[in-house]
């Protein structure tokens, strides 16, 4: 079983739509969670951290449910520029310092 | 300020040859990481340097891969001899601290194709 599972998509949505991505993880020792964004043939870039209380950054809302080992990302009022692959990422704890990536969910926003 | 830079951006080599990838982290970042993404798979951790020391090399696939960071500045990742399954995108990242909340900044990657 993969440590981080994501629906690969693609999610094809019109501009202005609301879209939600989900991610599940298997390692209950994971302490920190992130959403990264990766444009085609570019490097991953941190979009936002994810906290248990939920956090919002403009049109983006992230949520963490530790009991269900589930992370979500909600994008409101989608823009064409939101088209990218969204990576669910865990920071592996236990004395090490490495990121565990999901395979990513592809989003395509069309006019 | 310059970000993480990687060289070359692309490399095509024949099976059995040697390739060396280079990463220059952000100035002042003691932590340097190598990751790779093989086609169709997720990005996977290879190893982590703190300054010139290997902190964690649990993700290195086998002894054909050798990473160095002499002097604690730039790092190299050598693959010798290269095999077909080594094809993929190799990312380098750096961070200022080791804390979980510290952001890691990624380079644009080296796309390696072994033919």
- Contact map slice: A 3-42 vs B, CB within 8 A: 4, 31-32, 42
pLDDT at B25 over 70: yes
Identify the closest residue of chain A to B59 by CA–CA distance.
A98
Cβ <8 Å between B31 and A97? yes
Overall average pLDDT of the B1-14 stretch: 94
Q: What is the pLDDT along chain A (111 residues), one digit of tens a residue?
A: 788 999 999 999 999 999 999 999 998 777 789 999 999 999 999 999 998 888 999 999 999 998 899 999 999 999 999 999 999 999 876 667 889 999 999 999 999
pLDDT at B72 over 80: yes
Residue B90: pLDDT band (50, 70, 90) is very high
CA distance A41 to A62: 25
Cβ <8 Å between B100 and A93? yes
Q: For position A32, what pLDDT does the model report?
A: 87
The dihedral over CA atoms of B66, B8, B33, A7, expressed in degrees to the nearest 10, equals -110
Burial class (CB in 10 A: 0-12, 13-18, 19+), A77: exposed
pLDDT 10s digits, A74-97: 999 999 999 999 999 998 766 678
Q: For position A51, what pLDDT does the model report?
A: 84
pLDDT at B98 over 80: no
Residues of A in contact with B35 (CB under 8 A): 99, 101
Edge-to-edge strand ranges of the sheet holding B75-79: B5-7, B19-24, B75-79, B65-68
Residue A48 forms contact with B (CB below 8 Å): no
Residues of B in contact with A97 (CB under 8 A): 31, 48, 55-56, 98, 100
Q: How far is B42 from chain A (nearest CA, A)?
A: 4
Q: Is B101 helix (H, G, I), strand (E, B) or coil?
A: coil
Residue A85 forms contact with B (CB below 8 Å): no
């Amino acid at each position: 079983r993969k440590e981080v599972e994501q629906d690969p998509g693609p999610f094809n949505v019109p501009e202005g739509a609301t879209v939600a991505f989900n991610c599940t993880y298997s390692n209950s020792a994971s302490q920190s969670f992130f959403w990264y964004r990766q444009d085609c043939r570019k490097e991953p870039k941190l979009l936002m951290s994810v906290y248990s209380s939920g956090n919002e950054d403009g049109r983006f809302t992230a949520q963490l449910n530790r009991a269900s080992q589930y992370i979500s990302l909600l994008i409101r009022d989608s823009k064409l520029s939101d088209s990218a692959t969204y990576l669910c990422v865990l920071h592996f704890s236990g004395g090490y310092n490495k990121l565990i990536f999901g395979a990513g969910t592809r989003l395509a926003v069309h006019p | 300020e310059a970000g993480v830079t990687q060289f070359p951006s692309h490399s095509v080599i024949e099976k059995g040859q040697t390739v060396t990838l280079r990463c220059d982290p952000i100035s002042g970042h003691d932590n340097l990481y190598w990751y790779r993404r093989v086609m169709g798979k997720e990005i996977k951790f290879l190893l982590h340097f703190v300054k010139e020391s290997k902190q964690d090399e649990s993700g290195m696939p086998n002894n054909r891969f050798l990473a160095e960071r002499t002097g604690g500045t730039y790092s190299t990742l050598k693959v010798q001899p290269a095999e077909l399954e080594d094809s993929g995108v190799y990312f380098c990242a750096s961070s200022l601290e080791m804390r979980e909340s510290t952001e890691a900044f990624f380079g644009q990657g080296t796309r390696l194709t072994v033919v």
